């Protein structure tokens, strides 16, 4: 079957990573937009949560889809990681990464992702994010049922240990996204001098924006701001 042949090929597996990553990015955008209602006050967040939970059927379909996406993205990533490790049975005695130096040699306008560190640590930042997602789900979704959602959010994120864990995790997520956004466009074949400068800027602007909006909540709560 053509689709099986496609997804089992090297480019097909990269395509799975790119498409699932893009869909997870869209989800993150929606999720953070929802949680950002807290900036409008605790009641805004509570009414958003109640509105969302009134569509339990669609919400559950969405949750299952999201779970599948996470499983696909993580397992394909893990498979690629192990497959790639086998390609060089004898390692180099000295191995130098030169992409950093080349980034300086190429004019910035040609626009490649600027932080090679992010590219190198993708599997590791991915594992940190997965751990965070599990903690996050246990804290909120499978958390206390009879307490209003907005109260759970404020209590949990106002806890310095938990709040700092959130800020740390969102920083790791921002690093993961910095390479991810550029990488998924490259895998989907979207690379052209006309828009690479824009894409390069977005690989920094978008993760930092998410970090500020999402990380701002625990930061403000820890600093004692009342919502």
Partner 1 sequence: MKTINLTLQIWRQKNKDAPGDFETFTLNNISTAMSFLEMLDLLNENLTLQGQEPVAFDHDCREGVCGMCGAMVNGIAHGPEPETTLCQLHMRHFQSGDTLVIEPFRSRAFPIKRDLVIDRSALDRIIQAGGYISVNTGGAPEAGTIPIPAKTAELAMDAAACIGCGACVASCPSGAAMLFTGAKISQLSRLPQGQPERKERALAMVQAMDREGFGNCSNERECEAVCPKAISIRHVARMNREYLLASFFGE
Residues that bind partner 1 (CB under 8 A): 2, 5-6, 9-15, 80, 83-84, 86-99, 101-103, 105, 112-113, 116, 119-120, 122, 179, 182-183, 186-192
48 vs 182 by CB, closer to partner 1: 182
Burial environment of residue 8 by CB neighbours within 10 A (0 to 12, 13 to 18, 19 or more): exposed
Q: Are 34 and 83 in contact (CB under 8 A)?
A: no
89 vs 224 by CB, closer to partner 1: 89
18/77 Cα distance (integer angstroms):
10
210/208 Cα distance (integer angstroms):
5
114 vs 171 by CB, closer to partner 1: 114
73 vs 179 by CB, closer to partner 1: 179
* Least gap, CB of 24 to partner 1 (angstroms): 17
* Least gap, CB of 224 to partner 1 (angstroms): 43
20 vs 227 by CB, closer to partner 1: 20
DSSP string, 61-125: HHHHHHHHHHHHHHHHHHHHHHHHHTT-SSPPSS----HHHHHHHS-GGG---S-HHHHHTHHHH
* Least gap, CB of 78 to partner 1 (angstroms): 12
* Least gap, CB of 206 to partner 1 (angstroms): 17
* Least gap, CB of 35 to partner 1 (angstroms): 30
The answer for residues whose C-beta is within 8 angstroms of residue 179's C-beta and 6 or more apart is 113, 115, 118, 119, 122, 203
Alpha helices in 86-159 (DSSP H): 99-105, 116-120, 122-139, 149-158
């Amino acid at each position: 079957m053509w689709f099986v042949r496609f997804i089992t090929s090297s480019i097909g597996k990269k395509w799975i990573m790119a498409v699932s990553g893009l869909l997870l990015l869209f989800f993150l955008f929606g999720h953070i937009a929802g949680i950002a209602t807290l900036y409008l006050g605790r009641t805004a967040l509570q009414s958003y949560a109640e509105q969302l939970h009134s569509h339990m059927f669609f919400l559950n379909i969405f949750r299952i889809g999201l779970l599948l996406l996470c499983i696909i993205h993580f397992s394909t990533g893990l498979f690629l990681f192990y497959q790639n490790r086998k390609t060089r049975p004898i390692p180099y005695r000295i191995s130098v990464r030169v992409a950093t130096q080349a980034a300086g040699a190429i004019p910035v306008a040609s626009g490649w992702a600027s932080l090679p560190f992010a590219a190198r640590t993708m599997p590791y930042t991915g594992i940190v994010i997965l751990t965070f997602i599990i903690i996050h789900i246990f804290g909120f979704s499978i958390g206390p049922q009879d307490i209003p959602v907005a109260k759970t959010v404020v209590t949990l994120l106002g806890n310095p240990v938990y709040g700092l864990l959130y800020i740390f995790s969102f920083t790791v997520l921002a690093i993961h996204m910095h390479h991810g956004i550029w990488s998924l466009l490259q895998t989907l074949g979207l690379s052209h001098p006309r828009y690479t400068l824009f894409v390069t800027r977005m690989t920094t602007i978008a993760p930092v924006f998410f970090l500020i909006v999402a990380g701002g909540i625990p930061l403000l709560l820890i600093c004692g701001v009342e919502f």
